[in-house]
Structure formats: structure tokens, C-alpha cells
Amino acid sequence: MSTRVLNCEEAQLLASGTTFACEGSMTWRAGVPLYRERGVEVTVNPDGWLVLCDGLTGKDHFYPPPFTVAWIALQRWGGDPHLATDEIAEMWQEDPAETLTAVQKWLVELRTARLIRDDHP
């Protein structure tokens, strides 16, 4: 199985008329549901970098592999940053509090970049 990295335009063309299981995936912050902004596409490059593509602006946001792990953990744990970071910290033998702080800062960055939001799309 190979991985193909798409630019925003290609992703939008492929997505038109197609429903993807990952669309509308949710994360939580302090019990408040978070949603990907409409048009945000998620890709993982072959080298493990997470790419969040803003379909409205065409801007790509690149995050190194540890953030890919965080993104996946958030998806696995229903977006709960506490459960996700517990899993990451245990796997990497890191301090859970420091891991949680890093993930929470990143979620603030994602909100500021308008890649995720707190209300339903």
C-alpha cells in the first residue's frame, strides 16, 4: 500500500461527492466538543509529518511526527487530551503533565489557525 500526498485542490476534487469516514472527526477540550473546520483536510506524509490543509485558503500547516502521534491519539481517545497524552507519555516514557501541556498548547495553535473549532460545523 502506498501513500500519496495531495495538495488542497486535488483533495477537494477527490472529496466532491464522496463521504470519508474521517470527515467531521471530533476532539474534546474540557468536555467541549471540537471539530475540524469545514474544508480542512488531514494527510500524513510518508516521512510521518502531519499536514493540515485549509481548503479555504489553500494554506498547508505542517507538524513533525510527534504531532502526528498526538493527532492519532486524540482520534483514538475521542479527542480527550488527557487520555491521549496518558497513552503518549506511557509509550514514550515521558512526564504526562509535560505531554499534556504540549498537546494543549498545540490545540490552542490549531484553534488560532482556524483548523479546529468548538461548535458543530
Q: What is the pTM of this model?
A: 0.69
Round to whole Å and give the CA distance between 25 and 105.
20
pLDDT digits (tens, 9 = 90+) for 48-77: 999 999 998 999 999 999 999 999 988 788
DSSP helix/strand/coil, 48? coil
User: Angle at which helices 96-112 and 65-76 pack, to 10 degrees?
Assistant: 90
For 22-36, what is the mean pLDDT?
Answer: 46
CA angle 93, 96, 99 (to 5 degrees): 95
